[in-house]
Chain A
């Protein structure tokens, strides 16, 4: 497999991840990521034909619960929400206030 990462893809990845890397950081990351991805190539030698991917920690089944209101939990949740809102830097009518989007 050809080295799949270069300066341009790195820049694009950083944008997707909402990270701004300095030139020094970019150079270091590129060097490290190339080396790490090179190491991962060993996986290509594993025969995974017909193997189901493992998506989680254990083979868990769906858990359903009744759609009912737990008053105790609701009270706790209102309390928690209040404290979370209190910790926001800026609020407006209980909403988190952020800079304009565009």
Chain B
């Protein structure tokens, strides 16, 4: 089977029908990675030995007649802020350049139990802070569709690896759009789950009231499969929920879909959004209407404040979460000589963190400082409530909300690095779902479906149906 044709489902069918073994596919993928990833730089590290062992274990289980699960032997790429025991986890920062993870993140433990194979760790913006992967301390990742363009970010490596067929699927993390926007830029599918649906134990924390781990895949069905495998309650993450997801994620019933009403928030089709993108999304709306799904124009009036709200709350949480990086515990510093402990912190942090990370730590420290707390942080938390209430109100009339993913098409390297605010603006259509804790699916040709809390099934079913109709027409 050709790597370009591989999806999770086709991989599974190939294994079951004995067209190939997991080991053969993993070997073939590594060959392809060695050749292709020189151009793209989607991976930061590979662990072939561990992957071969995992693949052999999957093949052995099959040979012994044990059941083949949907993820048995499936080769995945993992964002470098998610811990895999005994592998590097740099979060694309100099601060963690020499760090080796000592345990598996819960999502990794779950996937390991399902027999999945981890090919390697993917590039990202440093500590997941950025929208183009240009903030990686270890070089840019190129957009597989055009090497002059960024792959998006922060999970740029995970999206590029899937788009370039250097993995069957991948995991990323999404704090303000970090899996949906790169998936959009690389023309693949991504699901940001409901806040609390997936355990973050073993994810290097960025902004804890917003972070979620989610899948990046070649189609919606695969996103449902991977999401189902990683979701579920975990005692090690106090924010993880008891909600259990079942087969409703991948079994769409057409009659049920046709009864749905999809909302189109006028604020997301504003003049700030690229005209070509709006045109494409309107075509999607028309196609879905043609299938009998109803649409309704709605308003989410506080959308315009989402960027300010997000860029206050997120850095505040960043400044607290990144306080743990003293350059001592997670990787021994090299060549830093200090007079005393405070001096050591100062030197390590100044050397270890990149520009954007420092900017967000400073911004977060500022908005939390006495005298400014009420005007910035407390205000932003109240606006966050209003943004969530907008969605609550809208969901009284509609089942799902459809919007563009990104206000711009993939941009060129360095186009937005000089002006941080212009980079922040690229997140305008993705941050509201994080602020409100809602699930959101991003898929070609550039639209996003936002669902109600714990209703991943609604957005996956519509997405799957759309994809199915597109592929068969």
| A residues adjacent to B (C-beta < 8 A) | 1, 4-5, 9-10, 13-14, 16-21, 25, 28-29, 32-33, 35-37, 39-40, 42-44, 46, 48, 51-58, 60, 63, 65, 80, 83-84, 87-89, 96, 98-102
B239 partner, pick from A46, A52, A53, A57, beta carbons under 8 A: A57
Q: A42-B305, A53-B378, A96-B328 are in contact. Are A13 and B365 (CB under 8 A)?
A: yes
14 A-B residue pairs with CB within 8 Å: A19-B361, A20-B346, A20-B350, A21-B350, A33-B362, A39-B421, A40-B312, A43-B309, A43-B376, A53-B382, A57-B210, A58-B194, A98-B341, A101-B342
Q: A19-B350, A52-B385, A89-B328 are in contact. Are A99 and B338 (CB under 8 A)?
A: yes
Task: Report how far A94 CA is from B421 CA in the complex, Å.
Answer: 46
Task: Report how far A61 CA is from B387 CA in the complex, Å.
Answer: 21
Chain A, residue nearest B343 (CB): A99
Does B235 touch A at the CB level, under 8 Å? yes
Q: A42-B305, A58-B453 are in contact. Are A51 and B385 (CB under 8 A)?
A: yes
Interface centre among A10, A14, A17, A100 (most CB of B within 10 A): A17
Task: Report how far A76 CA is from B435 CA in the complex, Å.
Answer: 35
Chain B, residue nearest A102 (CB): B340
Which residues in B have their C-beta under 8 angstroms from that of A89?
328, 332-333
Min CB distance A70 to B, Å, is: 9
Q: 10 more A-B contacts (CB under 8 A) besides A57-B239, A88-B332?
A: A4-B375, A18-B346, A19-B362, A40-B376, A48-B383, A53-B385, A56-B209, A60-B196, A89-B333, A99-B343
Chain A, residue nearest B334 (CB): A89
Task: Report how far A44 CA is from B453 CA in the complex, Å.
Answer: 29
Q: Mark B360-385, 1 if CB is under 8 A from A, else 0.
A: 01110110010010011011111111
Task: Report how far A96 CA is from B328 CA in the complex, Å.
Answer: 9
B196 partner, pick from A36, A54, A58, beta carbons under 8 A: A58
Task: Report how far A65 CA is from B328 CA in the complex, Å.
Answer: 33
Which residues in A have their C-beta under 8 angstroms from that of B319?
17
Chain B, residue nearest A81 (CB): B102
Task: Report how far A21 CA is from B365 CA in the complex, Å.
Answer: 15
Task: Report how far A18 CA is from B365 CA in the complex, Å.
Answer: 11
A98 partner, pick from B100, B196, B344, B384, beta carbons under 8 A: B344
Min CB distance B204 to A, Å, is: 15
Q: Mark B71-113, 1 if CB is under 8 A from A, else 0.
A: 0000000000000000000000000000110110000000000
Query: Quick check: A43 and B379 within 8 Å, CB to CB?
Result: yes
Task: Report how far A63 CA is from B235 CA in the complex, Å.
Answer: 10
B102 partner, pick from A17, A80, A99, beta carbons under 8 A: A80
Which residues in A have their C-beta under 8 angstroms from that of B329?
84, 87-88, 96
Does B386 touch A at the CB level, under 8 Å? yes
Query: Quick check: A100 and B347 within 8 Å, CB to CB?
Result: no
Which residues in A have their C-beta under 8 angstroms from that of B420?
32, 36
Task: Report how far A22 CA is from B194 CA in the complex, Å.
Answer: 41
Task: Report how far A35 CA is from B418 CA in the complex, Å.
Answer: 13
Q: A21-B350, A99-B340 are in contact. Are A5 and B381 (CB under 8 A)?
A: no
Does B195 touch A at the CB level, under 8 Å? yes
Min CB distance A83 to B, Å, is: 4
